[in-house]
Amino acid sequence: MIDRDIRERLAGLGVPVLLPEQQRQPLEWQEEAPDGELVDGGRTGLTVYLEQAAPDGYVQIEQPLPIGSDGLTGTFWAAVACIAPTPERAQELALDVRRLLCGWNYAPGPYRETTPGQPVYDPGGFWLCRATYEAKTLDGQSV
Amino acid sequence: MSDFPIIDQLNLLNGDSQYSKDNFKRIGNSVIVSPVEAVGDLIPANALVGLGFFEPDAQMAPTTDVQRNPILVQNPMGGPPVTLLEDASDVSIVYENVEPVTADKYIDALHLGGSPTAVAGVGGGTVTINPFEPGASILARLFVLRLLEGAGAEKRFELLVHLRAAIQADGFGEYEGRTTRNFRIPVQAYGGTLTSAALKAYAPQMSSYGAIFKGTVADLPALWENLKTEGVASAVAPEETP
């Protein structure tokens, strides 16, 4: 599956890499005390998650969208969002993701960037850098 | 195993692997040239110069133009003559449209046909001059490194080695609104053979036009060490006649 394949390739990043079905986890994060216990009446939400579980940011893989098929190869576009407390860190994470998925011009990986991303500020108090990558399947199997 | 039984019944040598998705991989190209003689002061003889980025779908494959003449014989069953075989009479191999998009001063010097000469005494000394020679041709060794998609120990490379080729400027191109330098590189026949200790046993495996090496990238540095010195100018010294 494409989202699992992307997660496997990004495993070495050293930050949490979340699958599409885990999208709500940061939003539902509850503040934890240093010993790991939940704080009664503590803060919740993404900024607390960033503070406590992902100080270096995290990567959210979005559900790959089917774009088309010619009968043999299927084309999917998978967006990967890098969320971090600063724009520099969001961009740095996004460049690392790009390198791991797409490789280099002269040594390419299986993915190809289709929509580039730049860090964008979200009023929730964090920076988001979201790029879209093209994934192909051959005869119904992920390549 | 193919689900459609007829393919299995044909007992093909590559019945499964012919369809394998592991063979549907992307390839990246690097082109490295090594002028046989020094290009002015900028590029010493046999120095290795890389040509940088190419457009995403550029295929660094040579255009091979083979002239073939059919040899016709009488048809034993009567009727028009039949082709016995085709005879190749003329072969030319040219890398057309080698178009680096990020040409630095070294690539630019190859495109101009020579190193720029600094013009002293005009302003602050940044001005250079080159003769305008559209027909210039720089004799060089040509290496085309193709890296196949893959990770870790199994990542494979293909290395096309042409020990003599001519680097010719072919005007300017355009990529995303930016100017690129266009090269046309015809491959020439090379009269020498492989001479390095590790490779000379394989000299018969190289044709006059070159050879193709393949392997995993872990072995590429060792191969490159040997290839760096193959076909350099000093290796093709004329034989002394007594």
At A37-49, the pLDDT tens digits run 888 888 888 999 9
Q: Which of A22-36, A91-105, B49-63, B186-200 has the highest mean pLDDT?
A: A91-105
Task: Give the minimum alpha-carbon distance from A119 to chain B in angstroms, rounded to a whole number.
Answer: 23
The residue with tokens 């991989």 is B25
A121-130, B2-11, B124-133, B181-190: segment of lowest average pLDDT: B2-11
Confidence of residue B59 (pLDDT cuts 50, 70, 90): confident
CB–CB contact A108 B28 (8 Å): yes
Q: Is the per-residue pLDDT at A23 higher than 80?
A: yes
Q: Is the per-residue pLDDT at B126 higher than 60?
A: yes
Average pLDDT of chain B to the nearest whole number: 89
- Closest chain A CA to residue B101: A105
A70 touches chain B (CB under 8 A): no
Which of B24, B25, B30 lies closest to A106 in CB terms? B30
Q: Which two tokens stand for residue B159?
A: 């290395």
CB–CB contact B28 A105 (8 Å): yes
CB–CB contact B21 A141 (8 Å): yes
A60/A46 Cα distance (integer angstroms): 12
Q: Residues of A with CB below 8 A from B56's CB? A: 105, 112
H or E stretch covering B183: strand B178-186
The residue with tokens 């699992």 is A4
Q: Mark B98-132 as b/e (b = at least 16 C-beta within 10 Å).
A: bbbbebeebbebbbbbbbbeeeeeeeeeeeeebee
Q: Residues of A with CB below 8 A from B30's CB? A: 106
Write out pLDDT tens, residues A57-91.
999 999 999 999 999 999 999 999 999 999 999 99
Q: Residues of B with CB below 8 A from A136's CB? A: 24
pLDDT of residue B62: 87
Q: Which residue in A102, A106, A134 has the most chain B C-beta atoms within 10 A of its own C-beta, making it the best mutation to test that interface?
A: A106
CB–CB contact B28 A143 (8 Å): no
Q: Residues of A with CB below 8 A from B26's CB? A: 108-110, 112
B129/B216 Cα distance (integer angstroms): 44
pLDDT of residue A41: 83
A79-83, A95-99, B88-92: segment of lowest average pLDDT: B88-92
- Closest chain A CA to residue B19: A139
Contacts (Cβ under 8 Å, ≥6 apart) of A85:
A50, A55, A57, A126, A127
Which of A105, A106, A138 lies closest to B21 in CB terms? A138
Q: Which two tokens stand for residue B61?
A: 């494959």
Full-model pTM = 0.87
pLDDT of residue B2: 52
- Contact of B64 with B91, CB cutoff 8 Å: yes
Confidence of residue B177 (pLDDT cuts 50, 70, 90): very high
Confidence of residue B57 (pLDDT cuts 50, 70, 90): confident
Q: Is the per-residue pLDDT at B239 higher than 60?
A: no
Q: Is the per-residue pLDDT at A21 higher than 90?
A: yes
B16 touches chain A (CB under 8 A): no
- Closest chain B CA to residue A138: B21
Confidence of residue A5 (pLDDT cuts 50, 70, 90): very high
